[in-house]
């Protein structure tokens, strides 16, 4: 049951009532102040978070820009070297293709031209300055197919040896101090070795 307290006309609340009203007002003021402080704190925190996000975005953009610039500079430095390597590889591949074609051509030529060994023999004898202290090794079956070579050697006083270990289509001229292969492959390999050495010396590294 609600109780009502009546005051006489001209009579206000008692000292206790005034104290209670004062405490309530102070409580309300305190609550308002706490709310204002909390709102200010949240606002400050939101501002700091936003500034941190902004700084992070700027740092990220700067890092990406530096990374992109570094990659671009690295590519610019690498492109000439890559171009040089590509050109060198193309030149080397072209050279290998050319040598392969030449080797195939010479192989086909040697199968039809029996005079190759004879011409190589003549050049070898010029190198040996006509020395007849040599032995010409041929496969036994090559004596009949390379009769011109055998006759040329015999004219120069060179002894011809039937050597079953000698590969067919090839000849070996053994002198006192040196041995010369008369087949086109050995001569071709010597030319290729010299050519590749000059190619490497000219600065074309693989």
Please write the tens of the pLDDT for every residue from 43-100: 888 888 888 888 888 878 877 777 777 777 777 777 777 777 777 777 778 777 877 7
Q: Which domain CATH number covers 117?
A: 3.30.2320.30
Q: Is residue 38 part of a domain?
A: no
Closest CA to 116 of 168, 157, 189, 169: 169
Closest CA to 30 of 168, 22, 82: 22
- The tokens for 89 are 């590889």
Q: Is residue 176 part of a domain?
A: yes
For the chain, what percent of residues have pLDDT higher than 90? 0
For residue 179, CA distances in Å to 45, 62, 122, 158, 170 come to: 94, 72, 14, 14, 13
For residue 114, CA distances in Å to 93, 152, 191 come to: 32, 13, 21
Task: Indicate if the pLDDT at residue 153 is higher than 70.
Answer: yes
Q: Is residue 161 part of a domain?
A: yes
Cα–Cα dist 200/167, whole Å: 33
How many structural domains are present in the chain?
1
Cα–Cα dist 110/104, whole Å: 10
Q: Is residue 53 part of a domain?
A: no
What is the separation, in whole angstroms, between the first and last Cα of the chain?
A: 108
Please write the tens of the pLDDT for every residue from 90-138: 777 877 787 777 777 766 665 555 677 778 788 888 777 656 678 888 8
Task: Give residue 171's domain range.
Answer: 113-201
Contact 163, 143 (CB under 8 A): no
Q: Is residue 129 part of a domain?
A: yes
């Amino acid at each position: 049951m609600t109780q009502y307290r009546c005051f006489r006309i001209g009579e206000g609340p008692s000292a206790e009532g005034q104290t209670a009203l004062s405490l309530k007002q102070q409580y309300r003021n305190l609550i308002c102040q706490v709310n204002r402080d909390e709102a200010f704190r949240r606002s400050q925190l939101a501002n700091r978070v936003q500034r941190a996000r902004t700084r992070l975005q700027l740092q990220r953009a700067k890092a990406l820009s530096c990374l992109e610039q570094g990659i671009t500079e690295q590519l610019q430095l690498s492109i000439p070297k890559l171009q040089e390597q590509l050109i060198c590889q193309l030149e080397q591949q072209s050279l290998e293709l050319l040598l392969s074609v030449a080797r195939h051509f010479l192989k086909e030529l040697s199968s039809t031209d029996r005079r190759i060994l004879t011409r190589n023999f003549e050049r070898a004898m010029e190198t040996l300055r006509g020395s007849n202290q040599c032995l010409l090794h041929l496969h036994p079956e090559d004596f009949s197919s390379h009769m011109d070579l055998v006759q040329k050697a015999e004219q120069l006083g060179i002894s011809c040896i039937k050597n079953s270990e000698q590969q067919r289509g090839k000849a070996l001229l053994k002198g006192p101090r040196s041995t010369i292969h008369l087949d086109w492959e050995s001569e071709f390999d010597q030319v290729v070795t010299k050519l590749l050495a000059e190619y490497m010396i000219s600065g074309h590294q693989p």
